[in-house]
A = this chain, B = another copy of it.
Amino acid sequence: MLVIGGMGVGGPGNLTLSLLDAVRSSDQVFAEAYTDPEDMLTIKKVEELTGKKVIVLSRKDLEEGQGDQVLEPAKKSPISLLVFGDPFIFTTHLALKRRAEQMGIEVKVVHGISVLSLAPSCSGLDPYRFGPPVTVVYPDERYGYFPETPYEVIADNLSRDLHTLVLLDVKHEEGRYMGFSEALGILEKLEEKLSKGALRKGRPLILLSALGSPREIVNWVRLGDVVDDKIYNLPKSIIVPASIKFYEQVPPDFQRMLHRNG
């Protein structure tokens, strides 16, 4: 049996009872380190509470071997693969699940807290007013690779007065975690190029960092402001808010930094 288990985001406190139970009854436990170098704290907590050794794999390990490292032993005995967030939100392991099922392996899913719900919850914005989310990926200008999707999704959401959750790219293998200034720079370039006015200078934005953890920072800034990435913790994401309704909770001064749960 294979358990694909979500450790949630926001650190060890967001581990669930089901996740710990699944680990306790596993013969071998693997974890995928992915979005946040500090995620090791959560993995250590799992080891401490369950007495099991967790073998950390990279996304590359999993993808290159098509998951055989976890699927082969799962044919015979209960194996857990732990991932951050929820296994099928943004870090999608659907292909692995499908492959396991094709191999006749029983798959159990344990869900975890995801940035998809944390972002509206921590921002004070209405979850009914979020359009589809989008990820800003690292462009590669040498090859003319400069995806316009983030801008298009944001512009489309704004045209319908919907907020957008914007995730920032992570290249864990290379140790690259996109910062706010880089992401905002990419969005500003897309505004120059596509000129739909969705992301003009001065436009309010919400920077979200380490959501759900004691290191959480939620901060309203304006596009064009200088942003010091070093004061924010990983993982980082952004909300591009549409109009703000009276019942949405927003700091009266856009420049005020909100520390929550700290």
Contact = CB atoms under 8 A, between A and B. Distances in A.
A120 B14 contact: no
A49 B230 CA distance: 39
Contacts of A89: 117, 120-121, 127
Copies of this chain, whole number: 2
Interface residues of A, number: 54
Contacts of A226: none
A51 to B, nearest CB: 16
Given A15-B17, A86-B121, A111-B121, 15 more contacts: A8-B16, A8-B113, A16-B113, A86-B113, A88-B120, A88-B127, A94-B247, A109-B122, A111-B118, A113-B113, A113-B117, A116-B120, A127-B133, A131-B132, A132-B162
Interface of A: 8, 10, 12-18, 21, 45, 86-90, 92, 94-95, 97-98, 108-114, 116-118, 120-122, 124, 126-135, 156, 160, 162, 212, 247-249, 260-261
